[in-house]
Amino acid sequence: MNIRRLRKIEWLIPLFAIILCAIGLVALFSASYDSGLEEFKKQVVWVCTGIFLMLIVMFIDYKFLIKISPILYGIAIIMLIAVLFTEPISGARSWFSIGDDLFSLQPAEFSKICVILFVSYVISKIQIQKGRKEINKIYKLTLIILTVTIPIILIVLEPDYGTAAAFIVSFLLIIFVAGIDKKYIFLAVTIVIVAVPLLYLFVLPEHAKTRIDTYLHPETDPTGAGYNILQSKLAIGAGQITGMGILEGNQTQLGYLYPKTTDFIFAVISEEMGFIVACVVILLNVMIIIKAIQVAKGIKDQAGAYVAIGIAGIFLFHTLENIGMTMGLLPITGVPLLFVSYGGSSMMTSFIAIGILLNISSQRKNGLFNK
């Protein structure tokens, strides 16, 4: 990569991510202090590993990654099938335990990148042959949908509904940018309106229904299903403007907030660092999403634009869902706050995604959307 391309890189994206990591590490230091800082120490390793991977991926031409995406997609599917035969952890078969529980690898996280690359590959191949509108032919659109449906089904079987939803949001943004006909958008909205109540009544397992019911009426079971979300709301409100101070949060330090290092890390930040820092976290996430969209707008290559917008979709969903659920605005799904929540697979995947964005941004000329 020459100097000219280095100058085109959106360096603000990794800067914003590293600031988020710093805030997350402070929160994790406080949240894991009573357990010997084990999670904090591991997270430092994951952050450093993630940054290292980002730098490596940044120098790999994204076009090469798209070219080998069928292989990556195949590996992802194999891993998603294999993980279904592991021992369940907290009721879910989502992780491969490595090194006597030293590290848990979550295939669904890494498959996000593989699926985005492959879907972009398939759509761009179809459009290169006969134009952008070619994806609106039923059989070709069905093929595109199938590429993302297979991993989604496997992830739902784990079960991991939050990650499955992230795939859906990312895919919808990709096909929207790819030029899908409005009639299909209308049809999809109609299907969702009809399917949601049917899924709730006849398909969702009881624990998933409980999460939705808790989201709607947490006060009906304050010591049971609604406990976590009520404690999260209390923590967020208690922080006020400047927070209660590191290691000083009542809900965080007295053990009322759970799981405080993963799902509810934003509540820890809000309680101990206050409204101002919580807003900074939201703003940094929004800026990363905006910059990812700008990368997509700035690249002439169709496949590159689709990859960038797909990554933006992943970041968008995680930000809205995690922060929304801690505030009681969305159902609890166990989705981490990227770069902030504890987790090696999530951290490394997020930095790999940024590495891809940086490589795409280095090759910007005349944007696909600016024609």
- Burial classification of residue 159, based on how many CB atoms lie within 10 Å of its CB (0-12 exposed, 13-18 middle, 19 or more buried): middle
In terms of Cα–Cα distance, which of 25, 13, 2 is closest to 265? Answer: 25
Residue-range definition of the domain harbouring residue 181:
15-363
Give the pLDDT confidence of 134-156 residue by residue, as tens digits. 898 899 999 999 999 999 999 99
Give domain status of residue 306, yes or no. Answer: yes
Output the six-digit token pair for 162: 């939050």
Give domain status of residue 311, yes or no. Answer: yes
Neighbours of 273 (CB within 10 A): 23
pLDDT of 272 > 60? The answer is yes
Give domain status of residue 369, yes or no. Answer: no
pLDDT at site 91 = 75
Give domain status of residue 4, yes or no. Answer: no
Give domain status of residue 370, yes or no. Answer: no
Residue where the block lists tokens 């800067």: 15
Output the six-digit token pair for 123: 């759509």
Neighbours of 11 (CB within 10 A): 13
Give domain status of residue 310, yes or no. Answer: yes
Instruction: State how far the Cα of 170 lies from the Cα of 315, in Å rounded to an integer.
Output: 9
Give the pLDDT confidence of 180-212 residue by residue, as tens digits. 988 888 888 888 788 878 887 877 777 777 777
Give domain status of residue 9, yes or no. Answer: no
For the chain, the average pLDDT equals 90
Length of the chain: 371
Instruction: State how far the Cα of 27 lies from the Cα of 40, in Å rounded to an integer.
Output: 9
Give domain status of residue 103, yes or no. Answer: yes
- Of 253-257, 354-358, 362-366, where does mean pLDDT reach its minimum? 362-366
pLDDT at site 371 = 44
**Through-space distance between the first and last CA atoms of the chain, rounded to whole angstroms:** 26
CB 240, CB 206: distance < 8 Å: no
Q: What confidence category does residue 370 fall into, taking pLDDT thresholds of 50, 70 and 90?
A: very low
- In the chain, the number of structural domains is 1
